Amino acid sequence: MLVIGLTGNFGTGKSTVSQILAELGAAIIDADKLGHELLEPDSQAYQEVVTAFGKTILKPNQEIDRHKLGKLAFNNATALNQLNHIMHPKMYEVTRERIKQYRQQESKLVVLEAALLIEAGWTPLVDQVWVTIAPEAVIVKRLKRQRQLSEEQILARLHSQMPAEEKIKRANIVIDTNCPINDLRTKVTNLWQTTCGSRL
């Protein structure tokens, strides 16, 4: 079984590449969705995050308001480190278990989509690292349209992440997503065939 770690900074098109790989037959583990699951009310992670950041991050129904939490974390390096310290070890363990399950099911290819794959030290979980990139101006334009975020919010989040140049140094494959969707689909399909073909 081949495990690909798909990473890249905010707005570089990881989810689009992940979706194309899923259509080609890959099993997807989405670290962001794992984070959502781990923050369900009354879980250990939920309790630790609420203790650390206070009840102001809760919605009226007592769920964590991820927008409020994100705003707190991405505007404050200490808060972001605190959040990562709570979440990353728990997410690592759940991810390792999911990969183990896919191996038992004899899956051929698993994609771990994780923005902080490298920063969080998750590369031991994967066989290859694929990094998505796009120019900053393109990222800002995309996210303004898709997420209704201000340029200031987008740049704060981008600049809290490892620079793309550093991620590229650690990559086996680099995918520039600054192209029409059909061209991106062709790129990813070609990579699938050349990188994964012998495993499938």
- Output the pLDDT for position 198: 54
CA torsion angle for 45, 47, 51, 52 (degrees, to 10)?
A: 10
Residue 189 has pLDDT above 70, yes or no: yes
CA atoms within 13 A on the CB side of 104: 6
Q: How does pLDDT run across 58-79, given as a tens digit for each residue?
A: 999 999 998 889 888 877 889 8
Q: Which residue is listed with tokens 């050349």?
A: 194
- Output the pLDDT for position 179: 96
Q: How does pLDDT run across 121-168, given as a tens digit for each residue?
A: 999 999 999 999 999 999 999 988 888 788 888 888 888 889 999 999
User: From CA 92, how far away is CA 95, in angstroms rounded?
Assistant: 5
User: From CA 152, how far away is CA 127, in angstroms rounded?
Assistant: 36
Q: Where are the alpha helices (DSSP H) in 6-114?
A: 14-24, 31-38, 44-53, 66-74, 77-104
Q: How far is CA 25 from CA 138, 187, 189, in A?
A: 29, 16, 11
Helix axes 44-53, 66-74, angle to 10 degrees: 50
Contact 115, 8 (CB under 8 A): yes
What would the mean pLDDT of 55-60 be, rounded to a whole number?
92
Residue 186 has pLDDT above 80, yes or no: yes
The model carries a pTM of 0.88
Domains of the chain with CATH codes: 2-199 (3.40.50.300)
Least confident of 11-20, 61-70, 92-101, 164-173: 61-70
